[in-house]
Structure 1
Amino acid sequence: MTMEERPQPATAPSLSEATRVWARIGLLSFGGPAGQIALMHRELVDERKWVSESRFLHALNFCMLLPGPEAQQLATYIGWLLHGWRGGVVAGTLFVLPGFLVILLLSTLYTLFGETSLLAGIFYGLKAAVLVIVVEALLRVGRRSLKSTLARFLALAAFLALFLFSTPFPLVILTAGLIGLFVSRARPGLIAGPTGHGSASTDDLAPPAPASLSGALKTIAIWGGLWLLPFLVIAILSPGGAYAEITAFFSKMAVVTFGGAYAVLAYVGQQAVGHFGWLAPGEMLDGLGLAETTPGPLVLVLSFVGFLAGYRNPGLLYPLGGGFAGAFLATWVTFVPCFLWIFLGAPHIEKLRNKPALNGALTAISAAVVGVILNLAIWFSLHVLFREMQAVALGPLRLDLPLASSLDPYALVLSVVAGYLLLRLHLSIPLVLGICAAAGLAILHFSA
Structure 2
Amino acid sequence: MNIEPTYSLSDLARYFLRLGTLGFGGPAALVSAMYQDLAVERKWITEADYQEGIALSQLAPGPLAAQLAIYLGYVHYGYLGATVVGITFVIPSFLMVLILGVTYVKFGGLPWIQALFYGIEASVIGIIANGTYKLTLKTVKSGTLGWFLFVTSAAATAIMETEVLALILGSGGIYWYFKSRPASIKSGAVRNLAMFLPQIQSINSDSVLWKIAIFFTKAGAFVFGSGLAIVPFLYAGAVKENQWLTEQQFLDAVAIAMITPGPVVITVAFIGYLVAGFSGACVAAISTFLPCYLFTVLPAPYFKRWGKNTGVKDFVQGITITAIGAIAGAVIVLARRQLIDIPSVAIAALTLFLLHRYKKLSELYIIAGAAIIGSILSQVLL
TM-score range, shorter chain: 0.5 to 0.7
Distance 1:124 1:56, change over 3 A: farther
Q: Percent identity?
A: 15
Matches within 5 A, 1:47-446: 59=57, 62-63=60-61, 73-83=63-73, 84-109=82-107, 115-149=109-143, 150-165=145-160, 168-186=163-181, 245-255=207-217, 259-269=233-243, 287-288=249-250, 290-295=252-257, 296-297=266-267, 300-306=270-276, 327-350=277-300, 351=303, 352-386=306-340, 408-426=341-359, 427-446=361-380
Over residues 198-243 of structure 1, what are the superposed CA-to-partner deviations in whole Å (9 max), with x where a residue is unaligned? xxxxxxxxxxxxxxxxxxxxxxxxxxxxxxxxxxxxxxxxxxxxxx
Give 1:219's aligned residue. Answer: none
Distance 1:428 1:441, change over 3 A: same
Aligned-pair CA distance for 1:174: 0.8
Give 1:23's aligned residue. Answer: 21
Amino acid at match of 1:445: Q
TM-score scaled to structure 2, two decimals?
Answer: 0.67
**Is residue 183–residue 360 contact of structure 1 (8 Å, CA) maintained in 2?**
no
Amino acid at match of 1:447: L
Distance 1:182 1:99, change over 3 A: same
**Is residue 76–residue 87 contact of structure 1 (8 Å, CA) maintained in 2?**
no
Amino acid at match of 2:173: L
**Is residue 8–residue 82 contact of structure 1 (8 Å, CA) maintained in 2?**
no
Aligned-pair CA distance for 1:444: 1.3
Distance 1:284 1:131, change over 3 A: closer
Q: Secondary structure at the match of 2:286?
A: helix
Amino acid at match of 1:294: I
Q: Secondary structure at the match of 2:307?
A: helix
Q: Secondary structure at the match of 1:147?
A: coil
Give 1:43's aligned residue. Answer: 29
**Is residue 261–residue 298 contact of structure 1 (8 Å, CA) maintained in 2?**
no
Q: Which runs of 5+ in 2 are unaligned?
A: 37-48, 74-81, 184-205, 223-232, 258-265
Over residues 320-372 of structure 1, what are the superposed CA-to-partner deviations in whole Å (9 max), with x where a residue is unaligned? xxxxxxx1111122222233322222234552422111111122222223312
Distance 1:161 1:425, change over 3 A: closer
Give the number of the structure whose alpha-carbon radius of gyration is greater. 1
Cα RMSD over matched residues? 3.7
**Is residue 76–residue 91 contact of structure 1 (8 Å, CA) maintained in 2?**
yes
Q: Secondary structure at the match of 2:234?
A: coil
Query: Aligned partners of 1:174 and 1:93: how far apart in 2?
Result: 31
Distance 1:78 1:48, change over 3 A: closer
Report the count of equivalent residues.
Answer: 309
Q: Which runs of 5+ in 1 are unaligned?
A: 1-5, 29-38, 64-69, 189-243, 273-282, 307-326, 387-407
Query: Aligned partners of 1:423 and 1:411: how far apart in 2?
Result: 19
Give 1:392's aligned residue. Answer: none
Aligned-pair CA distance for 1:438: 0.9
TM-score scaled to structure 1, two decimals?
Answer: 0.59
**Is residue 124–residue 440 contact of structure 1 (8 Å, CA) maintained in 2?**
yes
Aligned-pair CA distance for 1:22: 2.7
Higher relative helix content:
2
